[in-house]
Structure 1
Amino acid sequence: MSPSWKRCRQVLLAGWLFAVGSVAQAAQSDYLPPWNPPPPGGVSFAVPPFDAIADLHGDIVDPQLTVFFAGNQFMVVHDLVEAFKQRYPQDQRVFVETLPPGILAKQIETGSLVMGNLRIALKPDIFTNGKSSIVELQKQHGWFAQTIDYARNPLAIMVAKGNPKHIEGLQDLGRAEVRVSMPNPQWEGIAKQIEASYRKAGGDALDRSIMQDKVRDGSTYLTRIHHRESPLRILQGSSDAAPVWSTEVYFQQQILHRPVETVAIPADQNVTATYTAARMKDAPHEQAAKDFLAFMASAEAQAIYRKYGFQPAQP
């Protein structure tokens, strides 16, 4: 083989490897949030992961309604808000945050949120969270004027398509070679629910293994924003299994058609959350807050929640 042909072959091989690497990198970057449709109008400029705000939605300037949603419901926001605005045309500027509920509660307490270089000092009209957390916050602070239950959601395990680590249940998450993505108990209410399921499946020993031993050795990763990080870690191959609310894996698999699968958790080991929406006593937009709370109980809103895999509030 001539030297010139060898050089040509090396160049071709290098080009092919670069192309394959670029495609793989592009495929991974395609998974980056935000995962909701953007609002219309204006100059569209989003450059993930640098300038792409996933959990702030809608109109932040002079909103006519501000809703702090538990972050795991980010997928319903677009459809829900559009339907609300059609029913209540007087309220067109709606701002929604879908952050971990522990962070949202601290935002209410301190009066503002700082995200990067941005400071937000809006008061919510509506706050949603798990029912038990709403009850506890009401005992502590007396924030809420009215509440309604609007949806339920059990836990599931998200794995990559094909289930390469052969995860069959929660006990498999204790295996040394299984990399687990877990919410941080400091600000994610779902962590306590998952730990309760660990204890049901394998006693305190399983819970300690996953939440202490594996955290120390790095095979359990504690997320700061579970509803974004955990799906991304599964999709990008950084984690093998992630306990999540069932709607989170449903959204990735059935709505976005991403390469993930659901491993069901048996009822006797599972936990089902009931979600509660609360109207703030000091809501800046009291009538809009009342309208939104009524809308959440409507057949239209309930149909949107069913579309994304949520169960009705009453079994």
Structure 2
Amino acid sequence: MKGGWTYKDKDYAISPDVFGMVDMGSVKKLKDAGKGQDYVTYMHNQLVLMVAEGNPKHIKGITDLGRPDLQVMLPNPVTEGIMKFYAKKVLENNSLWEKLSAGKECQACNGAPNVYFSSVHHREIPAGIKAGKVDVGIVWATEYKNALKEGLKVGVVTMPEKDSMKNEVNYIAGNIPGTPHEKAAKAYLKFLGSKAGQAAYASHGFIEASRDELKVRQVQ
């Protein structure tokens, strides 16, 4: 929809001054549409396995998701970027995707009998662990930290770089040229690269960007 977006057949009118993406290909599409100009890579994240406090099922890594004795919840591959862009690739690299998904691309549904795909957001995973219905799920490290802040009794299993995707999970922000608040948008990009901006995100479990990544660049 021009000047906004449509969600569940309802229109939401808005004219944004900045954009946020996790995929550089999408940023280039914005530029081609005249909606993208400058950008920074301002933060990183990583995939972790969320488990119950104390890890009672003795889960050691991503390959354990293939165990039939575990109740697994995963971000759905239809609407969740964490799965579409990252976790699915990791599962495929470990020869787990077909087994866990049973060939399905769906949300609020079961893949394999012991695997459930989220309805809306992987925040459903800590809720499932709290309810005793989920043993393990893939989440962002930031989601684990948020669950701890909320007092949930959860634990974490960290993974090596090839499975955590920490070197590939990039958060990108940029300004949209010609908007009413373009000057403020450019100032916001500079703030993201400041010590205060970086510290604000890091306090929630994000991984800080390098000095080079924080330079404001033009979309090529």
1:265 aligned onto 2:156: no
Aligned-partner residue type, residue 313 of structure 1 = A
1:309 aligned onto 2:205: yes
Deviations 1:202-258 (A, max 9, x none): 33xx111112269444422222432432222222223221111111112212x3332
Is contact 1:275–1:313 with CA below 8 Å preserved after alignment?
Answer: no
The alpha-carbon deviation at position 303 of structure 1 amounts to 0.8
Structure 1 residues 154 and 216, CA gap change in structure 2 (3 angstroms)? closer
Is contact 1:182–1:226 with CA below 8 Å preserved after alignment?
Answer: no
Alignment partner of 2:147 out of 241, 252, 256: 252
* Separation (CA, whole Å) in 2 of partners of 1:290 and 1:216: 44
Structure 1 residues 226 and 109, CA gap change in structure 2 (3 angstroms)? farther
SS at match of 1:181: strand
1:234 aligned onto 2:136: no
* Separation (CA, whole Å) in 1 of partners of 2:172 and 2:117: 26
TM-score, length basis structure 1: 0.57
Is contact 2:88–2:97 with CA below 8 Å preserved after alignment?
Answer: yes
Bigger shift: residues 169-178 or 215-224: 215-224
Is contact 2:31–2:37 with CA below 8 Å preserved after alignment?
Answer: no
Give the aligned partner of residue 91 of structure 2: 198
Aligned-partner residue type, residue 304 of structure 1 = A
TM-score, length basis structure 2: 0.79
Structure 1 residues 282 and 157, CA gap change in structure 2 (3 angstroms)? farther
Give the aligned partner of residue 183 of structure 2: 287
Structure 1 residues 234 and 150, CA gap change in structure 2 (3 angstroms)? same
List alignment gaps of at least 5 residues for structure 2: 105-109, 212-220
The alpha-carbon deviation at position 277 of structure 1 amounts to 0.6
* Separation (CA, whole Å) in 1 of partners of 2:70 and 2:33: 41
Q: CA RMSD in A?
A: 2.7
Which structure carries more relative contact order (alpha carbon 8 Å, separation 6+)?
Answer: 2
1:161 aligned onto 2:59: no
The alpha-carbon deviation at position 113 of structure 1 amounts to 4.2
Is contact 1:279–1:290 with CA below 8 Å preserved after alignment?
Answer: yes
Give 1 or 2: higher helix fraction. Answer: 1
Bigger shift: residues 295-304 or 188-197: 188-197
Alignment partner of 2:64 out of 140, 153, 172: 172
Q: How does 1:35-74 map to 2 (within 5 A)?
A: none
Aligned-partner residue type, residue 178 of structure 1 = L
Bigger shift: residues 275-284 or 189-198: 275-284
* Separation (CA, whole Å) in 2 of partners of 1:232 and 1:139: 39
Q: If you compute each CA radius of gyration, which structure gives the higher value, 1 or 2?
A: 1
Deviations 1:132-180 (A, max 9, x none): 3543543664421211111111110111112232221111111223222
* Separation (CA, whole Å) in 2 of partners of 1:114 and 1:207: 29
Is contact 1:134–1:276 with CA below 8 Å preserved after alignment?
Answer: no
Structure 1 residues 109 and 140, CA gap change in structure 2 (3 angstroms)? farther
Aligned-partner residue type, residue 261 of structure 1 = G
Aligned-partner residue type, residue 289 of structure 1 = A
* Separation (CA, whole Å) in 2 of partners of 1:222 and 1:183: 6
Is contact 2:43–2:171 with CA below 8 Å preserved after alignment?
Answer: yes
Give the aligned partner of residue 100 of structure 2: 210
**Structure 1 vs Structure 2: percent identity of aligned residues?**
33
SS at match of 1:144: coil
Aligned-partner residue type, residue 4 of structure 2 = G
Spell out structure 1 runs of 4+ moving beyond 4 A. 113-116
Structure 1 residues 207 and 257, CA gap change in structure 2 (3 angstroms)? same
Aligned-partner residue type, residue 210 of structure 1 = L
* Separation (CA, whole Å) in 2 of partners of 1:225 and 1:141: 29
* Separation (CA, whole Å) in 1 of partners of 2:50 and 2:67: 16
* Separation (CA, whole Å) in 1 of partners of 2:200 and 2:99: 38
* Separation (CA, whole Å) in 2 of partners of 1:295 and 1:182: 34
Structure 1 residues 208 and 114, CA gap change in structure 2 (3 angstroms)? closer
Deviations 1:289-310 (A, max 9, x none): 1221221111111111111121
